[in-house]
Amino acid sequence: MQTVEQHELNHQEKKKISLYSVGVNLTLALIKIFGGLISGSAALLADGIHSLSDLAASLSVYVGIVISNKKYKLFPQGLYKVENLVALVSSFAIFFAGYEIAKDVLFGETTPIDNLPVALTVLGLTVAITWGYSRWEKQKAIELNSPSLQADAEHVKADFYTALVVLVGVLAQYFGYPMIEKLAVVVVIYFIFHSGFEILKEAIKVLLDASLDHESIDKIRQIVTQIPQVVSINALTGRNAGSYKFVQLDLSLQSDSLQEAHELAHEIEKKIKSQMPFVERVVIHYQPASPQESDEKRLGTDKRDVGYREYILQAPSITVYDDLARFLGTKADGVITVEYLEIVKMAGHSCATVAGAYLCALKGLQALYPDTLPKRGEIRVELARKPREENAGVVASVLSEITGATEDLGFGGIPTGEYNRRDLLHFGAPIEHDILFTRLDTGERVGVDFRPGRLVDPMKILLSAIGPEATPESRASFPDRFQEMVETLFAHADEVIDLHPLPKAS
């Protein structure tokens, strides 16, 4: 959770970086102008004058960051959006930079170069400074979640492209190939306008109070649903303002008193702020859950679920994002929660194998997707065992249900080739662990091993009911003892599941 002190430290850090940007642009303007005058390069001189406008833009970023942290009674929600306003202005400055490059290079007149070494030295320094600083500033902007610094980093990167074009133009002109400069500038202008458009789009979305991104909403939903006293989430909305997020929740809580509900709401706010960076405020409207809602929470939403063991109903769920479900309209937000009860119904029973496969998926996907929801259909699943070896087929069925991965008989995708689920599940893989999960988007991998023998002996319990030494009493007590064994695996999952993060797939 971000404290007042951390908030102030972040603000001071943003001010410091924006002042660095002012210094960088002032330095670039001076060396370009002097370099242009000494070398006789009109393009370099024009680029130096253009850097003065970059200097003005950097000053506006600094002013915007200072103003955004001010508190006024007239603005009770804060002035955080000033940063987005500055980003909006910066996007137009980026567009103008692209226009100036196009005008000077595509339609300007060429001038002879008097001192090529000076021009090349200045341009080399400019390329190095703008490339290094834009990368560093963008990294810091992401760490501080600052839209204005991110826009400024893109602005500096546009200056990097400008320097490259001028460098190409100087060399091309010197060696008698002026057309090369014009071809290069067309490519550069495309990238400049694209980055400007992205900044413009994000700034407008925030200024118009667009919703938080899906990943943030899903993360908040995941945090809240893991709290036992939360019976249902009736509404969940949020918005951005500058570097910060504002969240609104409407919850039905299982509580006996107003004071208890108030304390629980405060606890929920603390959990969200501690697990999600840059959440400034969480507003929670709560109401007591009806007896019917509380029963459904305890037993599941289907009355036919009555009669299942309590641990099956209370087992932790696995929430995934399925873009195919969103695309087909099955689930508007694409967020699907898989309960262990559903896996039990699919398998027809709950045993160590089914529970182990479910826990491997639960722990493996948590390790593979620490900050976002697992993407169903975008996970490759490899099993060390062959299909008929031990219970590999049962394990694969459970993992396929959760991840969407199939062999060659699954969904083949839509005509465009998207959403293909085939060839994502493999048996007999040459791996060192029981199961290997791989993210297709990043190549990140995690190996998972299931070791129930550390706590229980499923075969011994089974033989007590069907073996030669079985007695009427042992047969009668078998169902309870068997299910208690499975419940033990859930209660001590971290002791029977081993996770092995592996290098990214090449």
Token pair 């976002």 in the structure block, residue: 372
Domain count of the chain?
Answer: 3
* Residues 6 or more apart in contact with residue 177 via CB below 8 angstroms: none
Q: Are 104 and 43 contacting, i.e. CB atoms less than 8 angstroms apart?
A: yes
How far apart, in whole angstroms, are the C-alpha atoms of residue 83 and residue 80? 6
Last residue of a domain, one of 261, 294, 327: 294
Q: Are 248 and 272 contacting, i.e. CB atoms less than 8 angstroms apart?
A: no
The pLDDT value recorded for residue 252 is 85
Q: Where are the alpha helices (DSSP H) in 40-79?
A: 42-68
The pLDDT value recorded for residue 304 is 53
Secondary element (H or E) of residue 238: strand 230-241
Q: What is the pLDDT along the chain (506 residues), one digit of tens a residue?
A: 445 566 667 768 878 888 888 888 888 888 887 887 787 666 666 667 667 666 666 766 776 677 766 777 777 777 777 777 777 877 787 688 778 767 766 676 665 666 778 878 888 888 888 888 888 988 888 888 777 777 778 778 877 877 787 787 777 767 777 676 566 566 566 766 776 787 788 778 878 877 777 778 888 888 888 887 888 888 888 888 776 788 988 888 887 778 888 888 888 888 888 887 778 788 988 888 766 555 555 545 454 556 788 899 889 999 999 999 999 999 888 889 999 999 999 999 999 999 999 999 999 999 999 888 999 999 999 999 998 898 899 999 999 999 999 998 888 889 888 999 999 999 999 999 999 999 999 999 999 999 999 999 999 999 999 999 899 999 999 999 999 999 999 999 999 999 999 998 87
The pLDDT value recorded for residue 299 is 47
Q: Are 331 and 325 contacting, i.e. CB atoms less than 8 angstroms apart?
A: yes
Q: Do 159 and 72 belong together in one domain?
A: yes
The CATH number of the domain where 411 resides is what? 3.30.1330.130
Q: Do 194 and 219 belong together in one domain?
A: no
Token pair 């031990």 in the structure block, residue: 390
Q: Do 319 and 338 belong together in one domain?
A: yes
How far apart, in whole angstroms, are the C-alpha atoms of residue 165 and residue 182? 9
Q: Do 439 and 324 belong together in one domain?
A: yes
Torsion region of 414: left, alpha or beta (phi above 0 gives left; psi -120 to 50 gives alpha): beta
How far apart, in whole angstroms, are the C-alpha atoms of residue 217 and residue 283? 14
Last residue of a domain, one of 162, 183, 207: 207
Q: Are 64 and 15 contacting, i.e. CB atoms less than 8 angstroms apart?
A: no
Q: Are 55 and 40 contacting, i.e. CB atoms less than 8 angstroms apart?
A: no
The pLDDT value recorded for residue 1 is 47
Helices (H) and strands (E) in the chain, counts: 17, 10
- 150 φ/ψ angles, rounded to the nearest 5 degrees: -65, -40
Residue 347's closest CA among 486, 457, 466, 467? 486
Q: Do 350 and 276 belong together in one domain?
A: no
Q: Do 10 and 154 belong together in one domain?
A: yes
Secondary element (H or E) of residue 230: strand 230-241
Q: Do 88 and 138 belong together in one domain?
A: yes
The CATH number of the domain where 263 resides is what? 3.30.70.1350
Taking the model in full, what pTM does it have? 0.49
The CATH number of the domain where 190 resides is what? 1.20.1510.10
Greatest alpha-carbon pair distance for the chain in Å reads 105
The pLDDT value recorded for residue 465 is 92
Last residue of a domain, one of 185, 207, 229: 207
One-letter amino acid at 363 equals K
Cα 69 to chain centroid distance, Å, stands at 26
Q: Do 374 and 471 belong together in one domain?
A: yes
> Facing residues of 501 across strands?
446
Q: Do 426 and 442 belong together in one domain?
A: yes
The pLDDT value recorded for residue 397 is 94
Q: Do 134 and 247 belong together in one domain?
A: no
How far apart, in whole angstroms, are the C-alpha atoms of residue 502 and residue 446? 5
Q: CA–CA distance from 135 to each of 19, 28, 32, 131, 350 (Å)?
A: 16, 16, 21, 6, 52
Q: Do 169 and 223 belong together in one domain?
A: no
Q: Do 344 and 199 belong together in one domain?
A: no
Length of the chain: 506
Secondary structure (H, E, C), 323-373:
HHHHHCCCCCCCEEEECHHHHHHHHCCCCHHHHHHHHHHHHHHHHHCCCCC
Q: How many CB atoms lie within 10 A of CB 64?
A: 27
Q: Which two tokens stand for residue 225?
A: 């649903």
Q: How many CB atoms lie within 10 A of CB 371?
A: 9
Domain that holds residue 129: 4-207
How far apart, in whole angstroms, are the C-alpha atoms of residue 407 and residue 384? 15
Spatial strand order of the sheet with 379-383 comes to 425-426, 379-383, 435-439, 445-450, 497-502
